[in-house]
Amino acid sequence: METICWSTAAELAAAIAARDVSVPEVVDAYLQRIESVNPKLNAIVTLVAERAVADAKEAQTKIQKSHRLGALHGVPVLIKDNVYTEGIRTTYGSLLYENFVPDTDAILVARLKAAGAIVLGKTNLSEFGLVAITDNVIFGPTKNPWDLAKTPGGSSGGSAAAVAAGLSPLATGNDAGGSIRLPAGFCGIYGLKPSFGRIPSYPRLPVCEAVSHEGPLTRSVADAALMLEAMAGPDDRDRLSLPSAPGDYQSCLKEGVAGLKVAYSPDLGYATVDSEVRKIINKAALVFEELGCQVDEITLELPDMVKSLQIMVLTEIMVANEDRLEEWREKIYPLYSSFFSRVDKFTNKDMARIQFQRSELWHKIRRVFEDYDLLLTPTSAVAAFDSGAGGPVGPPVINGEKVRGMTWMAFAYPFNFTGQPAASVPCGFTAAGLPVGLQIVGRRFDEKTVLMASAAFEDARPWREHHPPV
């Protein structure tokens, strides 16, 4: 069982196709590990074991009948609990949707199934994915497999914790302000936010449409490329999906990065970064010099878009639930109780200012990529912080300095506003044994270079053999 549960999706798919292992054996191994480990983590909130076993038997029958197999045939996957899954409860982490069972799959789920993946269940998140921790009033907090007293980040923390702990080789996430990359960094796995619109999202609750990206959480870069190939591509049902067909994301992984020009910003001009994290990131950035890149530390002066993100998210979630606001007020996650009064203070000028700031941000980032192929930053300003029901949403102090609750997220949300591909790669551990993530940002629409650089870093500083102690 242990060998199966720590294998990559690519390894499992190859072994299944070669008939070295059966799909039922693979699914059973993961179900056993989930039964053993998930009670400690609370990462998976809805498990569809019987359905997964039945799907595994059907998948094995196709092999025996020599059917043509998809790239993920027989490989387990977990789906974040704000993504539609036909016949499987989808709660958004909110009591408003506690018993909601969709009658259709989201596009990305249908595509994963078409590639042969076996859905094991749904993963935990913050209520409506609104904060970068993983806790809600239905299921409670998810714990970090590296230290059960710490948060896995969020809002895709259930997916990240599950993949890190060997409960599935693959999981989906979505990212409107860092919700793929931040938990990937905290949990020591790979998380990719593709270009905006690369993976269509439909059906969905119309919240954060202008900044939300769907993407994979995996233990290897190659697995993320496999997932991206399965999920990417246009669909008219999502008016924001990119028109271009998906690329061959696997072929670029061995090309290397020698000759690329790489910019490194340790603070984006405004972020306060934990001193230990900064030392780890500094060393990680230098790896790209070893790989043959030109690496320059650059000075940036970017507008801090945190207030803009809050205004967008809070306004949209209130409109999305406006017919049930009084009901929600009674059932809301306690940390959200101030949302109602805050939204009432937002003005039309606030909304207009977001567009001006977004344009300013874009042009400052665009000019960086006129001279460089990639931008490196910390994924987050800190390693995982203390968890628990009801918060906190961030450390109150960094380097002895009092900070706002979302300060630690400062490297993530700018690239939701610009729509660029960005990934978090594991790059080291703190003295306390907590993972640290390096963020790799590419030009718009250029996932290939981000994946190529991620794979080169993975080869230079392998992380897959580091398993959490759960």
pLDDT at position 447 = 98
Residue 16: CA atoms inside 13 Å, Cβ hemisphere, count?
Answer: 34
For residue 209, how many other CB atoms are within 10 A of its CB? 15
Residue tagged 């594991």 (tokens) = 426
Give, in order, the Cα–Cα distances in Å from 265 to each of 52, 166, 210, 299, 301.
44, 33, 26, 7, 10
Determine the residue type at 97: Y
Contact residues for 20 (Cβ-Cβ < 8 A; gap 6+): none
What is the Cα–Cα distance from 435 to 427, expressed in whole angstroms?
8
C-alpha–C-alpha distance, residues 6 and 454, integer Å = 20
DSSP-H helix ranges across 42-164: 49-64, 107-114, 157-164
Alpha-helical segments (H) within 291-409: 306-320, 325-331, 339-345, 348-371
- As a whole number of angstroms, the longest Cα–Cα distance in the chain is 64
CA–CA distance, 466 with 187 (Å, rounded to integer): 11
Distance CA(159)–CA(219), nearest Å, equals 11
Amino acid 398: pLDDT: 97
Which superfamily is assigned to 2-460 in CATH? Amidase signature (AS) domain (3.90.1300.10)
Global model pTM greater than 0.95: yes
Instruction: Give CA angle at 411 (405, 414), nearest 5°.
Output: 100
pLDDT for the residue numbered 344: 86
Q: Are 163 and 124 in contact (CB under 8 A)?
A: no
Identify the residue whose tokens are 């693959």: 170
Q: Which residues contact 283 (CB under 8 A, 6 or more apart)?
A: 427, 428
**pLDDT value of position 197:** 98
Q: Domain map of the chain by residue range?
A: 2-460
Contact, 43 vs 148, CB < 8 A? Answer: no
Q: Divide the 470 residues of the chain into consecutive groups of 10 and give the mean pLDDT of each group.
A: 92 98 99 99 99 99 93 99 99 98 99 99 98 96 98 98 99 99 99 98 93 98 99 97 89 96 98 98 99 98 91 92 93 89 89 94 98 99 87 88 91 98 99 99 98 99 97
Q: Would you please indicate which residues are annotated as catalytic (active-site) residues?
A: 80, 155, 179
- The three-state secondary structure class of 2 is helix
